[in-house]
Amino acid sequence: MDTTIAEHGASVRLLALGDAAWTVEFGTTIAPAVHARVLGFAGALEQARRAAGRDGSDDDGIGAVIDVVPTFRSLTVYYRPLCCDGERLGAALMHLAESSGTASQEGRRWRIPVCFDDDLAPDLADLAVAKGLSRETVVALMCEATFEVYMIGFMPGFAYMGGLPAILEMPRLSSPRKAVPARSLAVAGSMCAVYPWESPGGWRLLGRTPVPMFSANDAESPSLLASGDRVCWRAIERQAYLEMEAAAAAGTLDKGRLLFLPEES
Amino acid sequence: MSEALIEVIAGGIGNSIQDEGRFGFRHMGITVSGCLDPLLSRCANALLGNAPDCACIEIRAVGPTLRVKRGCVRLALAGEIGAKLRRIDGTLREMSAWTSFTLDSQEVLEIATLPDGGSAYLAVSGGIDSPLQLGSRSTYQRAVMGGIDGKPIVTGNLLPCATQRHRQYRECQAAAWSQGEGPIRVVLGPQVDHFTPEAVRQFLASEYRVTPQTDRMGMRLEGVQLAHASAQAADIVSDGVTPGAIQVPGNGQPIILLVDCQTVGGYPKIATVIGADLPRLGQLKPGECIRFAAVSGAEARQALLVREAQWRAWANRIVAYMSDGPSLDDDLSDAWIASDWS
């Protein structure tokens, strides 16, 4: 994360996504240094959007921005085309992107419980055999690693996370499942994710969390995770899993308790 | 105004509650949704004096049959669609789009079918008052959000809306709103450099046919196969997408993303449809052939301003008229105001 602007600044590109969005691209590959630039720019843009609302003047059109989508390597900025001059907004975004550097503050840190029981982890045994590891070693490796959220996409609340130990990397299943159960912890290639919904999917399922990844009724933050967050998995027994699942269904699960407290981090 | 209720007595197929869409949540993977043809829904709302963001029913195939369960409601249809109105006295009337009409309690409206595709809209005076979720009433099935219980319209749904004080005999009508014609205009990119120059030329010079593989997420086209600059160029590390983006997977056949599309995608996008022409996508029917024309950002903005002016001109030609029936108690001093369309 300590890559300087000079090393990556030359590659910033402004790409038109129609007449109501710009994609500011920091690179074409998946790399932590590129993602750090994305987060740095996202933070600077958020500040600029707040300022645009405050002083009333908005010559560069930042106030017309309605949505942003951070990805592995770019930030797409959506705006109301009738409320600004798109070309000027594009120039302002480039100016901001070239000067924003890497993320100034770290994302939230989560410790999310996962039950690794066989029936909740249908691909765990196969992955362990394929890698010549014991089942317990795979679980230990998953729980020791820190994952970073690159982006939310594919479906609401689906967080693409990097940080999977290289020894656990495996391609997707050759034949995707028709229905992956909601809240399954899954890996594919170098990525890790939790399916927020039951859906078709080809990632390998290593466990299941009782924590909902997406709650439409949580108006503040329907998606549990955000780009830039860091996540550790904590193995739990079946009993604890069932209790937390019931609490989540009843709406009494305190998501705040899943955050690392400052003295722990 | 007290609350009126509309009961869905036949859900039809492909009907959903939509408004102008859900903004501010794309970073969480939540797409904008909303009406596929937002100009047509605006027309339906305008016929009732509604604000443009009032929620209405989008009809994509077999229209629903509705009964006013309680109260008295004014409605309007926009699009290539009609309906049968069954009055409480048993009389049956053919209703056309582009005029408002009023239903008393227990009266039934049987909305027809769009046999070939496209979109039509039924607006209700004051808008359908289903719950707001993340700032919008738009149905987003993938996230079980908006509409009634996050689902399309089904038999048995109860749609809350505003009631009229009494049956109105003054209604409003207008000419059919027509979409622009000619090629669908696009801004090239963001990944136009992932295609050979010949592919870009072919994309802008050939006809593409709309296939039946079309839903609110996207529209698959078929036509001249577009060559990527290299085998690797057929994939990108996912980046942000938007309705109107034209992605081209390895098979070289374009897909236009629509309002329920994902927020990110891993196929290169050769071009993106401009805002002025996005509503036209909601009217394309399987089998129809389209062409694309590239414009600059400045031309796209000009086209949007022209289109907005055309729409305002249409709305300014909405006229009030007296419908059949007694007009004894109709309060004519309460003049119809063209509300704030300018």
How far is C-alpha B215 from the chain's CA centre?
12
On chain B, the residues whose CB falls within 8 A of the CB of A83 are none
Task: Indicate whether A229 and A126 sit together in one domain.
Answer: yes
Q: Chain B closest CA to A135's CA: distance in Å?
A: 32
Nearest-10 Cα torsion for B172, B176, B177, B182: -170
The residue among A58, A75, A99 that closes a domain is A99
Name the pLDDT band for A68 (thresholds 50, 70, 90): very high
The number of residues making up chain A comes to 265
On chain A, the residues whose CB falls within 8 A of the CB of B230 are none
Distance CA A159, CA A211 (A): 14
pLDDT surpassing 80 at residue A54: no
Worst-scoring range by mean pLDDT, A6-10, A186-190, B100-104, B141-145? A6-10
DSSP-derived letter for residue B329 is T
Cβ atoms B287, B117 nearer than 8 A: no
Q: Is residue A104 part of a domain?
A: no
Instruction: Taking residues A2-10, report their average pLDDT.
Output: 43
Q: Other CB atoms closer than 10 Å to residue A113's CB: what's the count?
A: 18
> A222, B191: Cβ pair inside 8 Å?
no
Q: Which CA distances in Å does B162 have to B45, B103, B165, B310?
A: 14, 12, 10, 30
The number of residues making up chain B comes to 342
Task: Indicate whether A121 and A252 sit together in one domain.
Answer: yes
Alpha helix stretches (DSSP H) within A121-265: 124-131, 135-144, 238-250
Any idea which residue has 């056309």 for tokens?
Answer: B96
pLDDT of B342 reads 37
pLDDT surpassing 50 at residue A8: no
Task: Indicate whether A201 and A132 sit together in one domain.
Answer: yes
Distance CA A43, CA A100 (A): 8
pLDDT of A260 reads 79
> B27, A68: Cβ pair inside 8 Å?
yes
pLDDT of B331 reads 44
Task: Indicate whether A236 and A120 sit together in one domain.
Answer: yes
The reported pTM is 0.91
Cβ atoms A127, A121 nearer than 8 A: no
> A18, B145: Cβ pair inside 8 Å?
no
pLDDT of B167 reads 66
Q: Is residue A45 part of a domain?
A: yes
Task: Indicate whether A149 and A43 sit together in one domain.
Answer: no
pLDDT of B17 reads 98
Residue A261's H or E segment, with its range, is: none
Cβ atoms A48, A96 nearer than 8 A: yes
Task: Indicate whether A140 and A193 sit together in one domain.
Answer: yes
Region at A206 (left for phi over 0; alpha for psi -120 to 50; beta for the rest): alpha
Task: Indicate whether A85 and A139 sit together in one domain.
Answer: no
pLDDT of B168 reads 66
Strands B73-78 and B100-103: antiparallel
Task: Indicate whether A158 and A208 sit together in one domain.
Answer: yes
Q: Is residue A38 part of a domain?
A: yes
Name the pLDDT band for B164 (thresholds 50, 70, 90): confident
- CATH class of the B184-303 domain in this structure: mainly beta
Distance CA A18, CA B187 (A): 5
> A17, B245: Cβ pair inside 8 Å?
yes
Distance CA A131, CA A126 (A): 9
Counting the structural domains of chain A, the total is 2
**DSSP reduced 3-state for A103:** coil
pLDDT surpassing 70 at residue A249: yes
pLDDT of B93 reads 94
Q: Is the peptide bond before B190 cis (omega within 30 degrees of 0)?
A: yes
Instruction: Taking residues B268-279, report their average pLDDT.
Output: 98
pLDDT of B10 reads 98
Distance CA A201, CA B30 (A): 19
Residue of A nearest to B241 (CA): A17
Instruction: Taking residues A200-229, report their average pLDDT.
Output: 92
Residue of B nearest to A224 (CA): B28
Question: Which tokens belong to B261?
Answer: 């599309």
Q: Which CA distances in Å does B237 have to A74, B64, B232, B233, B330?
A: 10, 42, 11, 10, 63
pLDDT of A22 reads 98
Any idea which residue has 């295609």 for tokens?
Answer: B195
Percentage of residues of chain B with pLDDT beyond 70: 93
Distance CA B122, CA B75 (A): 7
**CA-based torsion, B147, B148, B151, B156: positive or negative:** negative
On chain A, the residues whose CB falls within 8 A of the CB of B150 are 216
Residue B145's H or E segment, with its range, is: none
DSSP string, A45-83: HHHHHHHHHHHS--TTSGGGEEEEEE-SSEEEEEE-GGG
> A19, B187: Cβ pair inside 8 Å?
yes
Q: Over the stretch B84-95, which tens digit does the pLDDT of each residue have? A: 999 999 999 999
How far is C-alpha B331 from the chain's CA centre?
33
Q: Over the stretch B7-28, which tens digit does the pLDDT of each residue have? A: 999 999 999 999 999 999 999 9
Q: Which CA distances in Å does B73 have to A240, A242, B70, B131?
A: 52, 48, 9, 19
Substitution target from B20, B142, B148, B237 for chain A, most A beta carbons within 10 A = B237
pLDDT surpassing 70 at residue B340: no
Instruction: Taking residues A183-192, report their average pLDDT.
Output: 95
Task: Indicate whether A242 and A115 sit together in one domain.
Answer: yes
Residue of A nearest to B304 (CA): A82
Residue of B nearest to A78 (CA): B242
Q: Is residue A138 part of a domain?
A: yes
On chain A, the residues whose CB falls within 8 A of the CB of B186 are 18
pLDDT surpassing 50 at residue B329: no
Kindly state whether A154 is in contact with chain B, defined as any CB-CB distance less than 8 angstroms.
yes
On chain A, the residues whose CB falls within 8 A of the CB of B25 are 67, 222
> Domain residues for A64?
5-99
DSSP-derived letter for residue A202 is -
Q: Chain B closest CA to A190's CA: distance in Å?
A: 13
pLDDT of B170 reads 86
Question: Which tokens belong to B187?
Answer: 């801004």
> A71, B28: Cβ pair inside 8 Å?
no
Instruction: Taking residues A28-57, report their average pLDDT.
Output: 88
On chain A, the residues whose CB falls within 8 A of the CB of B279 are none
Substitution target from A11, A17, A19 for chain B, most B beta carbons within 10 A = A19
Kindly state whether A155 is in contact with chain B, defined as any CB-CB distance less than 8 angstroms.
yes
Q: Which CA distances in Å does A12 have to A41, A96, A102, B3, B280?
A: 11, 11, 13, 54, 34
Which residue, among A199, A160, A68, A210, has the nearest Cα to B142 in the 3D structure? A199
> A223, B240: Cβ pair inside 8 Å?
no
Q: Is residue A91 part of a domain?
A: yes
Q: Which of B189, B239, B274 sits opposite A71 (nearest CB)?
A: B239
Q: Is residue A213 part of a domain?
A: yes
Region at B106 (left for phi over 0; alpha for psi -120 to 50; beta for the rest): left
Question: Which tokens belong to B300?
Answer: 């796209």
pLDDT surpassing 80 at residue A112: yes
Which of B330 and B78 is assigned the larger pLDDT?
Answer: B78
Q: Which of A71, A78, A157 sits opposite B242 (nearest CB)?
A: A78
**CATH code of the domain in which A122 resides:** 2.40.100.10
pLDDT of B288 reads 97
The residue among A65, A99, A133 that closes a domain is A99
Worst-scoring range by mean pLDDT, A66-75, A201-210, A247-256, B270-279? A247-256
Kindly calculate the radius of gyration of chain B based on its CA atoms and give it in whole angstroms: 21
Mean per-residue pLDDT over chain A, rounded: 90
Name the pLDDT band for B206 (thresholds 50, 70, 90): very high
DSSP string, B76-130: EEESS-EEEEE-TTS-EEEEESSBEEEE-TT-EEEE-B-TT---EEEEETT-B-P
Which residues lie across from A113 on neighbouring strands?
A234
The edge-to-edge listing of strands for the beta sheet with A13-16 is: A13-16, A21-25, A74-79, A65-70
Which residue, among B96, B78, B84, B82, has the nearest Cα to B36 in the 3D structure? B78
On chain A, the residues whose CB falls within 8 A of the CB of B241 are 17, 76
pLDDT surpassing 70 at residue A265: no
Tell which A residues from 197 to 256 touch B, by Cβ distance under 8 Å.
197, 214, 216-217, 219, 221-223, 226-227
Residue of A nearest to B146 (CA): A216
**CATH code of the domain in which A88 resides:** 3.30.1360.40
Kindly state whether A158 is in contact with chain B, defined as any CB-CB distance less than 8 angstroms.
yes
Q: Chain A closest CA to B305's CA: distance in Å?
A: 8
Cβ atoms B243, B257 nearer than 8 A: yes
The residue among A77, A99, A121 that closes a domain is A99
pLDDT of A246 reads 96
pLDDT surpassing 50 at residue B336: no
Distance CA A223, CA A219 (A): 10
Tell which A residues from 108 to 147 touch B, by Cβ distance under 8 Å.
none
Q: Which of B133, B238, B242 sits opposite A17 (nearest CB)?
A: B242
Domain regions of chain B by residue span: 3-175+318-322, 184-303
Kindly state whether A15 is in contact with chain B, defined as any CB-CB distance less than 8 angstroms.
yes
> A67, B23: Cβ pair inside 8 Å?
yes
Which of B181 and B303 is assigned the larger pLDDT?
Answer: B303
pLDDT of B244 reads 98
Distance CA B273, CA B257 (A): 10
Name the pLDDT band for A257 (thresholds 50, 70, 90): confident
Name the pLDDT band for B341 (thresholds 50, 70, 90): very low
Q: Is residue A94 part of a domain?
A: yes
Strands B108-111 and B319-322: unpaired
Distance CA B218, CA A245 (A): 35
Instruction: Taking residues B37-41, report their average pLDDT.
Output: 97
Task: Indicate whether A93 and A194 sit together in one domain.
Answer: no
Kindly state whether A148 is in contact with chain B, defined as any CB-CB distance less than 8 angstroms.
no
Q: Other CB atoms closer than 10 Å to residue B237's CB: what's the count?
A: 18
pLDDT of A9 reads 46
Distance CA B194, CA B190 (A): 9
Task: Indicate whether A170 and A140 sit together in one domain.
Answer: yes
Q: Over the stretch A119-174, which tens digit does the pLDDT of each residue have? A: 999 999 999 999 999 999 999 999 999 999 999 998 899 999 999 999 999 998 88
Task: Indicate whether A124 and A58 sit together in one domain.
Answer: no
Kindly calculate the radius of gyration of chain A based on its CA atoms and give it in whole angstroms: 20
Name the pLDDT band for B140 (thresholds 50, 70, 90): very high
pLDDT surpassing 70 at residue A55: no
pLDDT of A6 reads 42
Mean per-residue pLDDT over chain B, rounded: 92
Which of A221 and A49 is assigned the larger pLDDT?
Answer: A49
